[in-house]
Amino acid sequence: MSGGRAALDRFRLLAAALVVAIHTSPLAGVSEAADFWLTRVLARIAVPFFMMVSGYFLARRDWAGTGKFLRKTLALYAAAVVLYLPVNFYNGGFSAAGWLRRLLVDGTLYHLWYFPAVLLGVLIARQLARLGMPAALAAAGALYLAGLGGDSWYGVFTRAPALRLLYDGFFSVCPYTRNGLFYAPLFLLLGAAGIRLGRRAALVGTALSLGVMSAEAFWLRALGAQRHDSMYLALPVLMICLFSLLLEENTGEKRKFRAISMLIYLLHPMLIILVRGGAKALGLERLLIADSLIHYAAVLAGSVLCACVLYRLRLLRPRKDARAWRELDCGALRHNAAVLQAALPEGCALMGVVKADAYGHGAAQAARALQGAGVRAFAVACVAEGIALRRVGVRGEILVLGYTPASETPLLRRWKLSQTVADAAHGRALAAAGGPVRIHLGIDTGMHRLGIPAGDYAAISEIYSYKNLRVCGVFSHLCVVDSLAAADVAYTGEQLARFYETVGWLREHGYPTGKVHIQASYGVLNLPGQACGYARVGIALYGVRSSNGPVRSQLDLRPALAVRARITSVRLVAAGDCAGYDRAFRAERPTRVAAVSIGYADGLPRELPKRGGKVLVRGQECALIGRLCMDQALIDVTEVPEAAAGDVVTLIGCDGGAVLRAEDLAAQCGTITNEILSRLGQRLPVVERR
């Protein structure tokens, strides 16, 4: 989402400005009480907000992006540490023990405590999230309450001598409780929970809880109870209400604001130094230092300016939707997973097949969306595809359906992948490679592709004799289950009988079968529920069928993919003139011809124009004409006079009320959607729609 009201990203800028206020005290020259409220009450929403946003986006991918988030945060922290090294040395530096403590807990400058806090907090929050959100929030809330006693409520909690001894012992190691153990997990998990209260309730709750927190802060200040002032009893309630309000308003994103707000956070202490140093050099101390409000404005303006300059100097990357792209509807994918799971019998789990880049949908993006929908088992074609999923944080079972050489068994173990046994010789080779290997035993029931023949009990028993091969599943593949022709239905029945006879023999002889699975997409659509542990669903998971042929079950599946490109040029071709290679198109009338930024190198069939291929422009169908080029296509936009360069062209998917189905495109080209979609090139980036 690039349009809409980017409430979360816009609020990041306000939060960054509040952090600057904490360290410059803008109202100190106006009123001590007013400055206390601004910097020690209102501004205390900034850091929890940053943490909640992080938790919110991590949880939307079921924490699958945790590794990437940690690496990026660690890199920012390292850059900040280096940036402020001169400041630390100027201030006298630290001892070796001091450096270690500051790096791991405090941050090497006063504002950098955020980074070790969020790094540790994310690790804790992710583990707590596995308990379920209610239990996770309860545990994180208990940690927050414990930290509260060492922060703003210190003077109240430590009236008990035992607690004072406990807190003072903690402070001998770490000076504050606003760290990754006590503080960060709660706000990360509150963001992950994404609580929505409704606009009116959130607005009222924000106002009331801010009032309560203000009263709490001034009361504790009057008591002299505050050791620090980052943690208040009312702060989590305020953040729930405020974040809910922002979620209600959030309908878009501004990635630029994310980068600029973080740069402001990182750079503002350096600007404080520069403003103060410049004021002294120019004799402007009374204006730029003594006047606290002007001092704040100068620091903030300088920080914003530097952040914007650095943002403009960043390494630019091409926009994903600049030329041609695949658009993955993650909502449709999650919907399909839920519908398919509901169609399976109790005890049978969905195994998402994400081979061939998730049938052209983007394996990393699709697997993360499915993991967020509760899918915990995936199937790929080869080891490389399995490793790629692990690298983006996909957990659970990953089964390699294809052949893997025995020499690559260390990779299977390293990345915790399960391997299909292709035949008896393959099983022997895997066993001889040494080390434990998780396997699924393929049974050939009549497709004659992979697997040990059903009924070859000697070969099957041999596989079980190898102690280092751990059988975690037994499966087969049905080769004509997509057909409802009588002969094919009968053959499918024979395959099922052979498979279950083999499974029955295994169980009768005490061999563990692990998860049994035989249904793929058309097995779910055309067969009654099978008493299996998994159903391996590929093409149907993406809301598409291999062809327009009939099926027994009409499930409410939604296409999850659109393929789009852009018009790059529009010109008028006179009647009788030709266009494209080989002059394949001859205009029979004055024709407006548009060039489109996609071609056969992106995976489109070269014969698509001559087979009647269509596209959508501004919700209207337009014909593909001429020869499809490697990188470009030509379309007739005569009937769309407003079509212009930059317009989006849809080749698969919806535009307004019009739809172009992958099944129809495949039928035009005499093939199946599986081939059409899996040929979509890696040059087409994946744009996710949530």
Give me the active site residues, please. 355, 581
**Which residue is associated with the tokens 């189905």?**
661
| Contact assessment for residue 208 and residue 243, using Cβ atoms and an 8 Å cutoff | no
d(CA 383, CA 387): 6
Q: Which two tokens stand for residue 650?
A: 């849809």
Residues 6 or more apart in contact with residue 679 via CB below 8 angstroms: 360, 603, 605
Task: Work out the number of other CB atoms within 10 angstroms of the CB of residue 431.
Answer: 21
H, E, C per residue of 625-644 = ECCCCCCCEEEECCCCCCCC
Spatial CA neighbour of 301 closest among 49, 20, 555:
20
d(CA 515, CA 351): 11
- The helix/strand/coil state of 354 is coil
Residues 6 or more apart in contact with residue 612 via CB below 8 angstroms: 623, 668
Measured between alpha carbons, how far is residue 199 from residues 56, 123, 195, 249, 399 in Å? 18, 32, 12, 8, 45
Residues 6 or more apart in contact with residue 139 via CB below 8 angstroms: 128, 131, 185
The CA R_g of the chain, rounded to the nearest whole Å, is: 31
**Which residue is associated with the tokens 């309560």?**
212
Residues 6 or more apart in contact with residue 661 via CB below 8 angstroms: 559, 652
Task: Work out the number of other CB atoms within 10 angstroms of the CB of residue 188.
Answer: 30
Buried b (16+ CB within 10 A) or exposed e, 350-367: bbbbbbbbbbbbbbbbbb
Task: Work out the end-to-end distance of the chain between its first and last CA atoms, rounded to an integer number of angstroms.
Answer: 8
**Which residue is associated with the tokens 């497709």?**
447
Spatial CA neighbour of 30 closest among 292, 295, 285, 299:
292
What sections of 536-669 are H helices per DSSP? Answer: 662-668
Strand partners, 658: 655
- The helix/strand/coil state of 585 is strand
Strand partners, 654: 659
Spatial CA neighbour of 25 closest among 288, 295, 266:
295
